Chain A
Amino acid sequence: MSAVAEQQTRVPSPTAGASAAPVQQQTVNRRRPEQGSRQEWIVVHVLYLIIVIFFFAPFLWLLTAAFDGDAVAYIRWPAQPTFANFTYVYQNFHIGRALANSLFISTATMLLSVVLVSLAAYSLSRLEFGLKSVVTYGVLVLQTMPLSATMVPIYGLARDLHLRNTYLGLILVHSAIEMPFLIWLMKGFFDTIPRYLEEAAWLDGRSKFRAWWEVVMPVARPGIVVIAGFAFLNAWSEVLMVIILVDDPGKSTVPLAFYQTFRSNGGYNEVNYGLVAAVGVIYVLPVIALFFSLRKMMVRGLMSTSRGL
C-alpha cells in the first residue's frame, strides 16, 4: 500500500503552494514526448479498436435496444426509434416511485457518509497514540470483508431490529458497507493537510470543532467531493442489500426494479429485451453522468488507495 499511498501527495491541496509543490511537480512530470514510428501507430490503434469493441459493444447494445420497439439480442439500429419502452415501464413498473426512493436514499446516504467519514478520517489522521494503529488496521480489515460473508447476518440483524422495509435501514446499511473504504480514502486527504492550519485557528481562540469545520474542512473540499460521489454512486447502484432488506413494493428502489424486471422479462423466462434495457438505461445513466463529470477527481482519489471493489 505504501507505494500507492505516496500517490496521495498528488491530491490537490491548496495549502501546499509554497514549499512542497515544486518537488512533487517534478516526479509527476511526464516524460518528454517522443515521436513513434508509423508501424507503431498502426499497431497501437488496432489494439485500441479491439479494446473499445470489447468494452463498449455491450453498452451500444443497451442503448439501441432501449429505443427499439422490437428489441433483439444483437446490436442493430432500431428500425423506428421510439420511447415506447420507457412509457410502458413508467406506467406499469412503478418506476417513478422507485426513482424517488432511490434519489432520497442515495442523497441521505451521501450526507450521512460525508459527515461520519470526515469526522472519523480527520480523527484517524490526527490521533497520536497507541490505539491509533489498532483502529487503522481494523478499518483495513473491514475493508476486505465481502458482502457475501456479512449478508446473511445483516439480514438477520435487520429483521431483529425491525429495520427491514424502512428507509432508515437502507440508509444505515448503505452508509456502513462503503464506510471503511471511504474513511481510508479520506484519511489520505487529511494527511496531506498541514497541522499548523488548525493549530493557528486554536491559537485564535476557536474551539476544536470550529477549527475543524471552518478551517480544515474547506481545504479538504476536493476530498469531500470524491467521497460524496462514491457514497452516492454506491448507494444508487447497490442491489444485494436491497434484495434482502426490501419486499414492500412501496420501498422499492431503481436497482430492485431493474433486478425484478430482469428476472421476469429478461433472464430465463419470456424475453423482452426492450423493456429491461429501458429500465437499465434509467438505472445506469445517472451513474455514468455523475462518474464521468467527476472522473478526474474520482480516478485520482482511487489511485491513492488500492482497494478492490
Chain B
Amino acid sequence: MATMTPGRGLIAWRRNRSLIGGLLPAASLLSLFFVAPAIWAIYTSFTNRALVGLDARHPRHVGWANYERLLHSPAFKTVLINSLVFVVGSAVIGQFLLGLALALLLDHGEHRGYRATPFVYGSVLLAWVNPTVIAGFLWVAMFDFYYGSLNKTLELFGLSGVSWLGKAPMLSLIIVNTWRGAAFVMIIFQGALRTIPSQIYEAARMDGASAWQRFWDHTLPNLRQVAAVVLLSVTISTFGAFLLILTLTNGGPGTKTEVIALYAYHAAFQSRQIGYGSAIAAVMLGLNLIFAAIYLRVSSPKI
C-alpha cells in the first residue's frame, strides 16, 4: 500500500491489531514445538543428559565435549558421506530426474488424449501417499533374497538373484526413495507445465519449429526457476529423512547406510545419550539453516 489516505491508514492499523491476534494461537504452538525444541537441543547438547538413569535426572554441563566427540568420531565422516550419496542418488538423480520425465511424459500423453494416462498418474501418486513405514515393509518383501518378487522375476529371465539389502543396500534405498518421492516432483512440474501459455507453442509451430525445438526453446527455459526450488526442496527433505532407512536396513549392514539423521536417532534412542544426540541434532539444525538460506534466496517469494 504505497498511497494511504488517512482513513485507509486507520483501517489498516485497526485491522493489523486484530490480525496479529489471529497469528498468536498458531505462533504459540509453533514456538512450543519448533523454537523451544531448538533452544532445548542447543542447551542439552552441552550436557551429558541421558535417556535413563542418573544422568537423565541430574545432567551435568560438559562444555563442548559432545561436539568434540562428534568431530573426532570416525563415524561422523562415514555418516556425512552416506548422507551425501543418499541425497545425490535418490533426491537429485532419482526423484528429480524421474519426476521431471514423468511430468513430461504424462503431460504429453494427456495432450495426445491417451486414455491410459490417468491410471498411470494414479499409480505414481499411490506410491507417494502411502505412509513411509508401509513403503519400507513393501520393499522388504520385494527385495527378499529367496522369495522376493524382484529376484523371482530375475529367475524367470534365467538370471541369478541379487542380495539387494545385503550387497547393494544403498542402491536399494535409493530405488525405494525414488519410488516414493518421484510423484511430488512430478506434481510440481506438471503445475509448471500448465502455466506455459499455449500461444507460445502455437506461434512456434507456425514458425515451423520441430517438436524437439519447441521443447528445447520454450518448455525447458520455462521450467528453470521451478526446477531450482524443487531440487532444493527434495534435497532438504531427503537429507532429514531416515524413517525409510530405519525400516529397511536400520543403517546396516555395518554402517553402510547410516546417514546423519539416523545417527542422531541412534545416539539418542539406542545409545541413550540425549546430550550427544542433541549435539548431532544441533549440527543438523545448523546445516539446515544453511539449506534454508539458499532455498529462500533461490525461491525469493514475493511477500
Binding site for B on A (CB under 8 A): 1-7, 10, 26-36, 40-41, 44-45, 47-48, 51-52, 54-59, 61-62, 65, 72-75, 115-117, 119-120, 122-124, 126-129, 132-133, 135-137, 140-142, 144-157, 172-173, 175-177, 179-180, 183, 199, 208-209, 233, 237-240, 244, 255, 258-259, 262, 266-267, 273, 276, 280, 283-284, 287-288, 291-292, 295, 299, 302-304, 306-309
Contact of B129 among A29, A136, A199, A291 (CB under 8 A): A291
Other 7 A-B pairs with CB < 8 A, given A4-B188, A61-B142, A120-B27 = A41-B112, A44-B105, A149-B41, A149-B285, A157-B32, A262-B137, A306-B229
Please classify how large the interface on chain B is, using the bins under 10, 10 to 19, 20 to 34, 35 or more.
35 or more
Contact of A55 among B37, B126, B202 (CB under 8 A): B126
* Inter-chain contact B32/A176, CB cutoff 8 Å: yes
Instruction: Report the minimum CB–CB distance from B95 to chain A (whole Å).
Output: 9
Q: Name the interface residues of B122-142: CB closer than 8 Å to any CB of A.
A: 122-142
Contact of B33 among A120, A135, A140, A172 (CB under 8 A): A172
Of B65-73, B166-174, B191-199, the one contacting chain A is: B191-199
CA distance A239 to B241 in the complex (A): 13
Q: Known contacts A120-B27, A126-B19, A291-B129; is A146 also within 8 Å of B284 by CB? A: yes
* Inter-chain contact B261/A150, CB cutoff 8 Å: no
Contact of B114 among A44, A129, A146, A304 (CB under 8 A): A44
Q: Known contacts A56-B123, A127-B19, A151-B265; is A74 also within 8 Å of B240 by CB? A: no
Binding site for A on B (CB under 8 A): 1, 11-12, 15-16, 18-23, 25-27, 29-30, 32-34, 36-38, 40-41, 44, 49, 102, 105, 108-114, 116-117, 119-120, 122-142, 144, 146-149, 152, 179, 181, 184, 187-188, 190-192, 194-195, 197-198, 201-202, 225-226, 229-230, 233-234, 236-243, 247, 261-262, 264-265, 268-269, 274, 277-278, 281, 284-285, 288-289, 291-292, 295-296, 299-303
* Inter-chain contact A119/B25, CB cutoff 8 Å: yes
Quick one: closest B residue to A51, CB to CB?
Answer: B120
Subset of 14 A-B contacts with CB under 8 Å:
A2-B302, A5-B301, A33-B112, A58-B127, A61-B142, A74-B148, A126-B19, A146-B261, A146-B284, A239-B243, A240-B243, A280-B134, A292-B125, A299-B187
CA distance A53 to B125 in the complex (A): 13
CA distance A141 to B35 in the complex (A): 11
Instruction: Report the minimum CB–CB distance from A21 to chain B (whole Å).
Output: 16
Instruction: Report the minimum CB–CB distance from B296 to chain A (whole Å).
Output: 6
* Inter-chain contact A302/B187, CB cutoff 8 Å: yes
Instruction: Report the minimum CB–CB distance from B19 to chain A (whole Å).
Output: 4
Which residues does chain B contribute within 8 Å of A52, judged by CB atoms? 119-120, 123
Quick one: closest A residue to B151, CB to CB?
Answer: A74
* Inter-chain contact B239/A146, CB cutoff 8 Å: yes
Q: Known contacts A3-B226, A239-B131; is A29 also within 8 Å of B198 by CB? A: yes
* Inter-chain contact A135/B23, CB cutoff 8 Å: yes
* Inter-chain contact A183/B19, CB cutoff 8 Å: no
CA distance A54 to B131 in the complex (A): 18
Contact of B184 among A35, A61, A309 (CB under 8 A): A309
Chain A interface main SS type: helix
Which residues does chain A contribute within 8 Å of B109, judged by CB atoms? 44, 48
Contact of B123 among A55, A152, A262, A299 (CB under 8 A): A55
CA distance A213 to B241 in the complex (A): 38
Interface centre among B49, B112, B138 (most CB of A within 10 A): B138
Interface centre among B149, B192, B201, B234 (most CB of A within 10 A): B149
Quick one: closest B residue to A50, CB to CB?
Answer: B120
Instruction: Report the minimum CB–CB distance from B121 to chain A (whole Å).
Output: 9
CA distance A304 to B1 in the complex (A): 25
Which residues does chain A contribute within 8 Å of B15, judged by CB atoms? 126, 128, 208
